[in-house]
Structure 1
Amino acid sequence: MCRGDDTAVVALADDLSGAAEAAALLRLPARLVLHTDDLGVSGAGGEAVVMDLDSRYLDDEAAADAVRAAVRAVRRSPAAVGARTDTDTAGSRAFRAVNSRESYGSPLWFKKCDSLLRGPVGAEAAAFAEGAEVLVIATALPAARRVVRGGVVLVDGVPLHECAAWRAEERVAPRSVAGALAPLPTADVPLESVRQGPIALAGRFRELAARGRHPVCDAETDTDLTVIAAAAALLGPGARLLGSGGLAAALGRRLAARRAHGSSTDAGPTAARPRATEPFATRPLLVVAGSAEPVVGEQVARLVAAGARHLPLAPGELAGPEGVVLPELATGTVTVLSVDGSDGVRPGAARAVVAGLARAVSAVPGRPDLVLTGGETARRVLDSLGITTLRPVGEIHHGAVHCRTDDGRSVVTRPGSFGGPDSFVRIAAALRPSQQGVTQ
């Protein structure tokens, strides 16, 4: 019998909010690391190590190299070296912890990609597939109304290349998942095949692998993704998984079920635990709204209406050489920073604006708890603060992941496009459960 409670998972993501999302959804005790030197498997079962590759805005070659470096770092870790045999390929131990007839110790590999296919997804997928027998791909995210039908991403029913989701990107939106993943050799797996069940689907995966193709799966529901994860687990140790947070959640459900079968008492981070934050509720709470998504403006407005202090910052000042100096934050207050885009942001200046925002936050006296929206913003802020490791506590709502730093500070990360209009209000309430509303 396989031991799901001994499963160790290594997950790679291209930005920090995606890495945090994956860490929470895998439902294992997790460590989120920001640098390759900290990436390794301890040998303890039932844990996940998740790395932010910080590759969303790298060119294809650099992004592929980042993936390869991460894989090498894990394979050099003592647990992986001790478990490896002379006949192993780079991907041959990926599912051994789930389907093991051998000793435990080698990880299950998962690559988190953006559900809107932004970033160098093709170059990263090709590098991640190196050495694996097959890479099972499912990029649908039903929770955000993003599905894959006929190999095409649909956002609220509109094909990705026809909607506004890529308005801030310099690249042209791909017309299909296969197009985004080029040069990786792929083949579409229609919804009808997915819904034949795990055994039949695994057979289809094997057929494609024998032809040197990696399956790109249609999916419209979480049940579809659960079937895909189950089928991949039947393939044996040569399989790896690549997909959105929806596939990470499906994998997490599978791992949690196996841990429950093994009588494990800790299923990992699944929901925020407000009581853990009570001793630190007197700290200032700083919300950094670094995303350009339209919904963020309404989220800021609702938090301000609830009593938060609002500091809109001009992009020109943030990107300028002198930067912005923020006022001191009083104990027990909630402050939200946003980039004032009323006059627009100069093309090509977005990264300089985010860097200026990070510098401003890092200079704030004290150690405020942080809410960081947008993966680029979150990563730059944590880099400026010298924070290299996070421990996920749970999700406050879908995509809003509550983590702890080594010094006990709360950090919530969230993709810019996630959450309803009340997202910031919900996050503030979860971090400050003893406060009635938000105070200035």
Structure 2
Amino acid sequence: MTRTVVLSDDLSGAAEVAGTVLERTTDLELSLSGVDGFTAAVGIVDLDTRSRSAAEAGARLSAALGAVPAGTRVVVKIDSLLRGHVATTVDVLARRGRVVVAAGHPGLGRIVRNGVLYVNDVPLHRSSVWNAEPGLPPASVRDVVGTAPSVAVPDVTGNRDLDDVVASVADDPDVVLVGSGALAAALVRTLPAATAARDTHPADPARDVLTVVGTASVGARDQVARLAEDGVPVVSVDAAAVLAGRASTAELEGALARGSAVLTVSGPLDPSASGRLVVALGHLVARVAAGRAVDLALTGGETARAVVDALGITTLRPVGQVHYGAVVLRAPDGRRIVTRPGSFGDRHSLSAIHAHLAGLPVGAVSQS
């Protein structure tokens, strides 16, 4: 079997792929530091490039590619809404050889038809999903990846199209596949089935949960409201105060002293400062969570990586899923961390994640 390496631009995307792989095989590794040392059939790397400059993103990708052994299938996981450094990514790859960019995520209503990415039947550039981004959404996938003849951009209207893409390059591991978690899932479907993953860690006692919402999406706000209906207190910190390093943690610490809590960020913010805000938020969460017996639910890949880095966590072991994209990871200290892309999940997503970690039936009211 051809060994596979998946390079992701953020942690929640890497975990999303890991959750899919776990449904097929336990022979996988998730790295926060690089490609070197992989022995598993599937190696997944968080390159942590989403919030970095295009130049740094390109340099990190080039370095990772240089460490991949010859004959390894490389999949580069990008955002299904084409956010991040997709253009830089494809440019780096195209200089090395053939690339297939199979964008979209049919299971989430994100398809590519006639080269245009649609979100729930609305062209991306006419939708509102890029409202928190510093630039304008592209009118087509080619507007992002360019017109180089070595780069193919097939339409993706369903999972069968993704299966066909994977089948078309099966005999040529040098072709790099670029796409969302749905493309990675199509590749996973070709792997030999193995025993489903089991977490061998001793049974966890009931633990409180700190949910950190690092996304500005409308859906996330609705999910927070649903979690509040379960009795979990919502604590909001001002974005400007977080950036300035003067945000108080007293309210959050008080809420956690009584049980679980959810942390959100409020107030206006210049999108160009979002990267600095995420790092500052990670340090704030780490100050509260360090030394406290609390599991974490982290939405948004940049937020998840910032918190993990601030806590000094360098390795994570995928052990299961709450639902698609909401992946349970085990830290070396035994703490469970669920990551989930910010735009994923229905209204009940955060409630289900909290219930899973807290050992409660879904929909049960917290006694915080």
Q: Same fold (TM over 0.5)?
A: yes
Give the Cα–Cα distance (whole angstroms) in 2 for the partners of residues 24 and 371 of structure 1: 15
Kindly indicate whether the alpha-carbon contact (under 8 Å) linking 2:239 and 2:265 is maintained by their aligned counterparts in 1: yes
Residues 355 and 237 of structure 1: is their aligned pair in 2 closer, same or farther, counting only changes over 3 Å? closer
Aligned to 1:136: 100
What SS class does the counterpart of residue 392 from structure 1 fall into? strand
Aligned counterpart, 1:216: 153
Q: Distance in 2 between matches of 1:345 and 1:238?
A: 42
Query: 1:313: which partner in 2?
Result: 237
> Unpaired runs of 5+ in structure 2?
none
Bigger mean CA deviation after superposition, 48-57 or 331-340: 331-340
The question of 1:53 aligning with 2:18 is answered no
1:384 aligns with 2:313: no
- Structure 2: how far apart are the matches of 1:278 and 1:345? 43
Deviations 1:386-428 (A, max 9, x none): 1122111222112111111122211111111110111011112
- Is 2:5 aligned against 1:10? yes
Are residues 1:176 and 2:112 paired? no
Q: CA deviation at 1:351?
A: 2.9
Q: Can you give the 5+ residue segments of structure 1 that lack an aligned partner in the other structure?
A: 75-79, 85-92, 94-106, 186-211
Could you state the TM-score of these two structures normalised by the residue count of structure 2? 0.90
Alignment-mate amino acid for residue 56 of structure 1: R
Separation in 2 of the partners of 1:438 and 1:227? 46
Q: Partners of 1:423 and 1:434 in 2: how far apart?
A: 14
Q: Tell me how far 1:438 sits from its aligned partner.
A: 2.7
What is the correspondence of 1:249-398 to structure 2 with a 5 Å cutoff? 249-255=185-191, 259-260=192-193, 265-267=194-196, 279-325=203-249, 326-327=252-253, 333-341=259-267, 344-364=268-288, 365-398=291-324
Q: Distance in 2 between matches of 1:383 and 1:362?
A: 9
Q: Deviations over 1:153-205 (max 9, x none)?
A: 011111111111111111221111111113x61xxxxxxxxxxxxxxxxxxxx
The 1-side partners of 2:335 and 2:258 are apart by 14
Query: Hey, what does 1:248 align to over in structure 2?
Result: 184
Amino acid of the structure 1 residue aligned with 2:229: A
2:345 — aligned with what? 419
Q: Is the Cα contact below 8 Å between 1:40 and 1:73 reproduced in 2? A: yes
Report the CA distance shift for 1:438/1:222 in structure 2 as closer, same or farther (over 3 A): farther
Is the Cα contact below 8 Å between 2:74 and 2:173 reproduced in 1? no
Q: Which residue of 2 aligns with 1:160?
A: 124
Deviations 1:328-351 (A, max 9, x none): 56579321111124xx33453333
Question: For each residue in 1:78-128, what CA deviation from the matched residue of structure 2 results, as whole angstroms up to 9, or x when unmatched?
Answer: xx3xxx5xxxxxxxx1xxxxxxxxxxxxx2211001111111111111213
Say if 1:31 and 1:389, in contact at 8 Å, map to a contact too.
Answer: no
Contact 2:73–2:174, Cα closer than 8 Å, also in 1: no
Q: Distance between the aligned counterparts of 2:65 and 2:152, measured in 1?
A: 21
What is the identity, as a one-letter code, of the residue corresponding to 2:326? A
Amino acid at match of 1:250: A
Question: What is the match of residue 336 of structure 2?
Answer: 410
Secondary structure of the 2:189 match is helix
SS where residue 311 of structure 1 aligns?
A: strand
Q: Aligned match of 1:40 in 36, 60, 79?
A: 36
**Cα contact 2:124–2:139 (8 A) shared by 1:** yes
- Which amino acid in structure 1 is aligned with residue 155 of structure 2? D
Q: Deviations over 1:234-263 (max 9, x none)?
A: 4x23222111111011111111xxx13xxx
Q: Give the aligned length.
A: 359
Identity of aligned residues (%): 38
CA RMSD of aligned residues (A): 2.2
8 Å contact from structure 1 (residues 136, 232) kept in 2: no
Q: Secondary structure at the match of 1:279?
A: coil
CA distance in 1, matches of 2:215, 2:205: 26
| 2-structure distance, mates of 1:318, 1:381 | 14
Deviates more, 1:214-223 or 1:425-434: 425-434
Change (3 A) 1:431 1:277: farther
Name the CA distance, whole Å, in 1 between partners of 2:257 and 2:110. Answer: 40
1:112 aligns with 2:106: no
Q: Which residue of 2 aligns with 1:207?
A: none
